[in-house]
Structure 1
Amino acid sequence: MSILSIVFIIIGIASALYSALILKNGTTFDYMFTAWFWIASVFFGIQSVTYFLSFHRSVTEYTDTIHDSYVPGLRGKVAVLVPIFNEEEEMVITNLVAIYSNAGEDSDIYVLDDSTRGDSAPIIDLCRKLGMKYIHRENRSGYKAGALNNVLKTLEVPYVAVIDIDQTPAPDFLRETTALLAKDPKIGFIQVPQVYSNTDSSILAEIAQAQQFIFYDILTEGKSVAGTLFSCGTNVVYNLD
């Protein structure tokens, strides 16, 4: 598919140049539109090639990390950062309990609440009961990234996890990721995939889950092999050492 894309792009560019320089039967607008159209086509061709390379790397070079990563305990203290902004209170409380239950005793949970509406008293009360640290900002400078950076500069832990409030981590999330980070200190972060739990009741969730497969099971694994993987800003654990 990638090779065919490149072949058709080359043919199209050659045809456009032939029409413009030899036949000279188009207007200036026609030439401008044609140029932009083939620039977009070249971009699509480059995307196709990089997708093929990522697929090849993910299949042939990406190593299996599941069987040798699990250990019964965490490898060092983990700070779990949970950003919140004007989410539904019931969902926030339910997922905070789930995050707390799956984080383990060696984790400190920071609830970064930038909400500007509603009463946060129930959330604050839950954080107090469960020993989670509640932080609320007034200016929202930098939005989610600002909330994360605001607390990151105060932490002295080897690992930091970021989990969005609409996510529920698996029980082994921190154990497996910190084991991989401890095994190879050169790893800067581990980006894990996310799975939708309502694909059987929502066609939109089912489509989104299909996109997640392409991104997490092909592109990120291929980019990891090439050393070009980027962080998505959630369902991720960073190595601060």
Structure 2
Amino acid sequence: MKVANLIFSLSPFFVSTIFTYITFVSFATAIIAFGIWISMVVGFYIFLDFFILSIRSKKYSVKLVGKETRYKVAAFVTSFNEDPKIVEGTLMSIKTAIGNLGNVFLLDDSTNNKISTELKNFCNKNDIIYLHREKRRGYKAGAINDALKNISEKYDFVAIFDADQRPVEDFFKQVLPYFSDPAVALVQVPQNYSEINSGIASGAKYQQEPFLRIIMRGRSMSSAFSLGSGSVFRISALKDVGYMSENSVTEDAATSIKIHEKGYKSIYIDAPLIWYGEPPQDLNAYMIQQSRWAFGYFQLTKEIIFSNLDFSKFFDYFSGTLYWIKEGPITLIEFLAPIFFLMFKIPIMKINPVCYLLAYIPYLIFTIALFIFATRDKTEYGIKGFYFHQSVEYLEFPSITLAFVSWIMRKRTPFKVTPKETRKFNLNLILPHLFILFLLIFSDILGFIWLFSVRSYTLAYAISINIFWASYQIPFLIGGVILSKEFYKEKKYVSMSKVNN
């Protein structure tokens, strides 16, 4: 499938180039025209994958079972300079869940001696195996691999949890029976954002809903991938693919690709088996999280394109790359295109605006409606969820664009844990958004002035379309700014150390 996958991966850019050649007005604006077309084409590819997965998700029928098993499990909690109180609560939750099925391990890579000492003492008192590394080779994946290579002969499965993701008491009794099929290498459960203490946290929770309720359901038994926490792996399958991938900061997705290339199955159990979880509570934490996820996925692009995945799995993974490109540099293009046209009155594309309206607006309405109602069937997402979701996504474009540039320039970026503490509102972080917001409003004003002075219906339609796109983005940017300032509760976790670069 490598040749077919390679051709398909190039097709969005090839199609956009053809449309640009047909419609560009001048070489001076050809780049902007290409940006507009790549935005529409990539958006269509992402929507197509979501549409297919939404159909698959309706057939989702994984049922919980509760049989006792004879398996031996190692439960890993990974930690790097995390608040000990959060880590300790997670460790005890896992210890209760695992019972006599295995052992709990804390893989602590903390560089803060105070944190390490406190966690080590806690583990010694509670019969939890404490492992600490001085050198952080491979970051989280390296810690997991080092531990697995020392203990893998004693255990059948490894369960991986982040420091703030706590399983319910019967987690393992519900998950392990799915491994009765020897082809199943991974069982994944949804993460749960329960600690909603800010506007950003609320938006981040809504942002996860379509992914967890539609995309991952649709990918179950096909291309469902590890989310880094709440993942249970068959250790023999991890050995077969060379353990966890250490070449990407999103080691979960990278390892999942290797597992699927080998023909193993993965199951997604959409059930509340995690009862606690902290989303990013402020804009800084949110940008760090999204930038890390985006950069890690960009790192996987070459691996995805040249993988031996069948086309269905390839399309699912490649759509992830397209999603992050759209959320970063393409979003920036979507901001600048109407601003450029309305402020400088320079035509960008030769296209009949009436045909554009008749073709694209119904498609836009249909995609939004499908997105809202497909998700609302399984959650309380609805219009409010869509607005919160889009608003926080509009906040992430600067950090994801920088991650994209770093990937293109082959720069290595330091691994950063998402901060758990809530900080004060940082105006500097939203200056790019405020600047874009000002330009959109200003260009709208200029657009209306221009609209009332023209006599050409064709030009009036073109102006109206650009006013629409500028206006469409304004409410989401405003919403993002408001969410970044809004703190719902006084509860704050104070970090005991800064994240090392």
TM-score range relative to shorter protein: 0.7 to 0.9
- Give how far 1:161 is off: 0.2
- Whole-angstrom CA distance in 2 between matches of 1:39 and 1:121: 52
Map residues 193-232 of structure 1 onto 2, 5 A cutoff. Answer: 193-199=190-196, 201-225=197-221, 227-232=222-227
Native 8 Å contact 1:102 1:172 kept in 2: yes
Contact kept? 2:71, 2:101, Cα under 8 Å: yes
Alignment match, 1:151: 147
Which of the residues 133, 141, 144 maps onto 2:129? 133
How many residue pairs get matched?
219
Q: What is the CA-CA distance between 1:180 and the residue it aligns to?
A: 1.1
Structure 2 runs not aligned, ≥5 long = 1-15, 237-501
C-alpha distance in structure 1 between counterparts of 2:156 and 2:231, whole Å: 14
Instruction: State how 1:62-81 maps to structure 2 within 5 Å.
Output: 62-66=60-64, 69-71=65-67, 73-81=68-76
Work out which of the residue numbers 178, 183, 198 in structure 2 matches 1:186. Answer: 183
1:70-105 CA distance string (max 9 Å, x none): 12x344110001111001122222222222122212
Structure 1 pair 221–75 and aligned structure 2 pair: CA distance change class (3 A) = farther
Q: 1:132 to 1:98 in 2, by over 3 A?
A: same
Aligned counterparts of 2:19 and 2:174: Cα–Cα separation in 1: 54
Matched residue type, 2:134: E
Aligned-partner SS, 2:29? helix
Of 86, 92, 98, the residue aligned with 1:97 is: 92
CA–CA distance in structure 2, aligned partners of residues 222 and 144 of structure 1: 28
User: Matched residues in 2 for 1:208 and 1:170: separation?
Assistant: 22
The 5 Å alignment of 1:5-154 reads: 16-20=20-24, 25-26=25-26, 28-60=27-59, 62-66=60-64, 69-71=65-67, 73-119=68-114, 120-154=116-150
Name stretches of at least 5 consecutive residues in structure 1 with no aligned partner: 1-11
SS at match of 1:178: helix
Q: State which drifts further: 91-100 or 168-177.
A: 91-100
Which of 160, 163, 178 in structure 1 is aligned with 2:161?
A: 163
SS of the equivalent of 1:190 reads strand
TM-score with structure 2 setting the length: 0.41
CA–CA separation in structure 2 for the residues paired with 1:19 and 1:94: 59
Verify the 8 A CA contact 2:91 2:104 in the aligned structure 1: no
Answer whether contact 1:74 1:174 (CA < 8 A) is retained.
Answer: no
1:15/1:98 CA distance change after superposition, 3 Å: closer
The C-alpha deviation readout for 1:10-35, integer Å capped at 9, x for no partner, is xx988744433xxxx42x13112212
Deviates most, 120-129 or 231-240: 120-129
Secondary structure at the residue paired with 1:110? Answer: strand
More helix by percentage: 2
- Report deviation, 1:37: 2.6
* Secondary structure of the corresponding residue to residue 163 of structure 1: strand
Counterpart of 1:52 in 2: which secondary structure?
A: helix
Partner of 1:6: none
Q: Deviations over 1:98-144 (max 9, x none)?
A: 22122212121111000001322232122112221111101101111
Deviation at 1:159, TM superposition (A): 0.9
Q: What do you get for the CA RMSD once the two structures are aligned?
A: 2.1
* C-alpha distance in structure 2 between counterparts of 1:15 and 1:162, whole Å: 46
The aligned counterpart of 1:172 is 170
Contact 2:76 2:161 in 1 (8 A): yes
2:354 maps to none
Relative distance call for 1:53 and 1:122 in structure 2 (3 A) is same
